[in-house]
Chain A
Amino acid sequence: MERFIQVIVDGVATGSIYAALAIALVLIFRSTGIVNFAQGEMAMFSTFIAWGLYAGGVPLGLAVLTTLALSFIAGMVIERGLIRHFEGGETLTLVIVTLGLFILLNSLAGWIWGFGNRSFPSLFGDSTFTLGGVRLTVESVGIVAVLLAVVGLLFLLFQRTKIGLAMRAAALNPESSGLVGVRVGRMLMLGWGLAAALGALAGVLVAPRLFLDVNLMGSVLIYAFAAAALGGFDSAIGAVVGGWVIGITENLAGTYVDFIGADLKILVPLAIIFVVLLVRPAGLFGRREVARV
């Protein structure tokens, strides 16, 4: 039983990391209408920056906060400097642009930091504690707490502030938003900035569990796509639930089903998505069928 609970908690923690990146994908999908294939590589690049600051002597917490701020700015710069020029054109063109950005960032990171592995320290240390007879890591619980805090802040931003209302409006209908004085371009910039910061958070949370290298986010991005698809590509709550479902089932299957093990467990979430999307093409929480790539 203790083992089972540990596997579940760990699954929720892993799922929370997928959820953070999935929310980033959802933010951009809702405002720009595309899936940002470069989201994972942007996060990887950010994680290297955090590592660089830390290796240079900056305390870890400060290094991470600085990285989140820098990523926010970089996300806005990417929207303004690159994506803006292709807005309103063919969706496929934009998707290809994000694929180009993927390759660019991956190569650039390799060129700057090399292709070797590095270990990245956990924000939460490696201590454990016992709760009701079950031994849990501080890290797992910390990751879940961070995700819940982030979701709470995003909820407040979008539901309770004027700028959040304007961001939602700009995503729903840019033309009508312009008529009430919302500067739609700035809202898109903000959306990309938020998404980049969220991705950076996912990166620094996942890096201690893997090794930091240029392909850090490869599999995480697949899981995040899966989480977003499962939840319905336009729902942040859906992304969280999707992330958790995938994290838990992946861990359960990897632990308890003999022939799956660590190598095949990536297939489990994909099987779940396949079944869910057959029954509910818009995802669990999605409002409309996702027609764009």
Chain B
Amino acid sequence: MAQRVQLFHTCLVNEIDPDVGMAVVRVLERIGFEVDVPAGQTCCGQPAFNAGFHDDARTVARHTIELLDRTSGPIVVPSGSCGDMLVHQYPHLFDGEPPMREKAARVAARCREFSQFVAETAPDAIGGTLEAAIAYHPSCHLLRGLGVREQPLAAIARVAGATSVPVREQEECCGFGGLFSVKNADISSAMLDRKLTAIEASGADRVVSCDLGCLMHIGGGLHRRGSRVRTQHLAQFLDEAQSR
């Protein structure tokens, strides 16, 4: 029987770009998993946490932890940022509340970011064909929060016809940072500008990343520039390659 995994789809995927979630489901099913989507999911609460409103973040975290703790099996998160929130920040938010902290730690231990999960469970099952020059954008929380550096690149490398092109200062932040992008809009815009220039100079025809937030940021910037470079979540890219 296929192993069951829980999908924590994240608010951005749910509200803005559900195609990412559907692609995650299809990729996971193709490599042999059965996907459950726990009902009642909302947001991980990171916006409140990063803005300093920890009580509010706790309110949302409590909801999410209770909901996920009622399920079993691995929890797949198609976002390094939300993944880092669940894995690293949730337990600390409940430092003063041991029973809840224990639950949070239990949930955290089950969480895997999408590319991380694929690399750990079925790296060889990834494949397909797709001619594309890819600028992989390592999102900060994925790279430096969860420590996921090679896994997405390895998945891309298994797609015949796809090449990862180097991007100048590839591991530098795109300037999204959630509320940072509006609170410090000038700085965020300047950071994005450098990122877009580097991406356009790389010769890539698409930007692939594991975080929809960064992709909305980079994609919105590319659209404003009238660029032909498109953006895709890694799951969408793999799904497209597998469907050919």
Are A and B associated in one complex? Answer: no
